[in-house]
Chains A and B, each alone.
Chain A
Amino acid sequence: MDLSLSTRTEGGRTIVEVGGEIDVYTAPKLREQLVELVNEGQFHLIVDMEAVDFLDSTGLGVLVGGLKRVRAHEGSLQLVCTQERILKIFRITGLTKVFPIHPSVAVAIASSD
């Protein structure tokens, strides 16, 4: 399965809905999307990963890159994920300390108000 990306605005936040597999082949598309949003002036991002089937370290690197970019503008990047196999990768790499990870988009929006 390839990568699917869609964006919308909700509660003053930009939601990036990601689906499919994020790996060394597809991660550059996600990077382009995040860079584009930041270049458009959207600095408060929520990446919804509920439809992600696979995530590797390349994908993690892209998310970290996105975090660095929004932080440079006093922004934020939060994640939505409840899938244990995806959460495990964040735990292994210690990135649960870096990203706020929420169970739903609604909770992510509420927590950043």
Chain B
Amino acid sequence: MAIVELRFSALPEHVRTARLVAAAVARRAGVAETVLDEVRLAVGEACSRAVGMHQDRVDDDRPVTVTLDDGNGRFSIEVNDGVPQPTLTEEGLAEGAGLVPDLSANGSGLDLIENEMGLAVILGLVDDLDVRAGAEGGVIRMSWPSGAKSAETVG
């Protein structure tokens, strides 16, 4: 198991750095080349969302933390926005899962998608996804198959 952790001030200019680091670690972990674009996009969306959570919060210097882990045959990314928030309920999770906007009604969905598409993109990209919120901050955890052998198969 190898872990890389990146912490950055919640500023938009650092999101690109997070994407580059995540893609580099994913490649090294053996994530398929065809999946790297998805990893880059998903971590970018999660970090953009985390940076957005800090907007309008005066004197908020808590960093965004990105943890990359290639243990147990999976490459996982955890993005913690560091902003304390109410714990997500089952109902809230269900609402989140329905965030992909219905665009069949011309125009009415445009306001929604102009502002909140990040989670929709992540939901569309990532099969193994966990979204949590609590006193320690909001956490988005995602994982993909990697080339690393799991603890069970080694040896």
Contact = CB atoms under 8 A, between A and B. Distances in A.
8 shortest A-B CB distances, which residue pairs? Answer: A92-B124, A57-B117, A25-B12, A24-B48, A24-B12, A64-B114, A57-B118, A94-B103
B103 A58 contact: no
Interface in B112-131: 113-115, 117-118, 120-121, 124-125
A91 B138 CA distance: 27
Q: Is the interface of B mostly helix, strand, loop or mixed?
A: helix
Contacts of B37: 85
B45 A56 contact: yes
B28 interface: no
A68 B110 contact: yes
Interface in A47-74: 54, 56-58, 60-61, 64-65, 67-68, 71
Given A57-B120, A92-B120, A24 B113 contact: no
Contact of B114 (A24, A25, A61, A97): A61
Interface string B6-25: 00000011011001000000
B114 A65 contact: yes
B100 to A, nearest CB: 7
Interface of B: 12-13, 15-16, 19, 37, 40-41, 44-45, 48, 51-52, 100-104, 107, 110, 113-115, 117-118, 120-121, 124-125
Nearest to A71: B107
A93 B117 contact: yes
A56 B44 CA distance: 8
A98 B111 CA distance: 13
A24 B12 CA distance: 6
B40 A60 contact: no
A65 B114 CA distance: 6
11 contacts: A23-B19, A24-B52, A54-B19, A54-B40, A54-B41, A61-B114, A65-B114, A89-B121, A92-B124, A94-B101, A98-B103
B140 to A, nearest CB: 13
A95 interface: yes
A70 B78 CA distance: 39
Contact of A98 (B12, B44, B45, B110): B110
